[in-house]
Amino acid sequence: MKRCAKYVLLVLLFKVISAAAQTTTPLSEISGKWTNDIQFSGQSQFHKSENFFWVGKLWGFIESTGRFRFASQNGCNFEGLAYPAYSWYEGQASVTDCSTQAMNRIYSVQFRKSGAFLSISATTTTLGISRVEASYAFKGTLSRY
């Protein structure tokens, strides 16, 4: 009888731990819907038409799996995947459909949670022979909606 009771307790404990593991993921703290103004900037040494600065609204979501999708007022769409990295989260985002073509690139992204806010920063560069020819970035501090 004691052996059966131990088995039942172990099975119940396993189920509780499994259920907890399924509801809490490493990205749970940043998952949800986020919005606020962000700024985009781009600077190219050789293509002056790719130099820009833009500030506008961004909105979207991050799933607990790390998949994220955002859109901005200038028509840009961001899709990517984030993963835990020490005390922040990082990943890559494919930015498409921007009104300024130079912004359509693959970016390295970092998310940092601080209280109720989520900082997002992303960068990408174009390398030439022994120098950076162009750099593009976007950044902002988001809040939940």
Is residue 31 a part of any domain in this protein?
yes
Per residue in 54-86, is it b (16+ CB within 10 Å) or e — as a string? beeebebebebebebebebebebbbebbbebee
Inside any domain, residue 10: no
Identify whether 89 is part of a domain. Answer: yes
| pLDDT of 9 strictly over 60 | no
In a domain, 83, yes or no: yes
Instruction: Specify if 6 maps to a domain.
Output: no
Q: What's the CATH code of the domain at 135?
A: 2.40.160
Q: Phi-psi bin for 75: left (phi > 0), alpha (psi -120 to 50), beta?
A: left
Whether 112 is in a domain gets the answer yes
In this model, does residue 12 exceed pLDDT 70?
Answer: no
pTM more than 0.85 = no
pLDDT, one tens digit per residue, over 48-95 is: 777 889 999 999 999 999 999 999 999 999 999 999 998 899 999 999
Let me know: does 33 contact 145? Beta carbons within 8 Å.
yes
Residues 98-137: tens digit of each pLDDT: 988 888 999 999 999 999 999 999 999 877 776 778 899 9
* Counted domains in the chain: 1
Q: Which domain holds residue 124?
A: 26-144
Q: Is the pLDDT of residue 25 over 80?
A: no
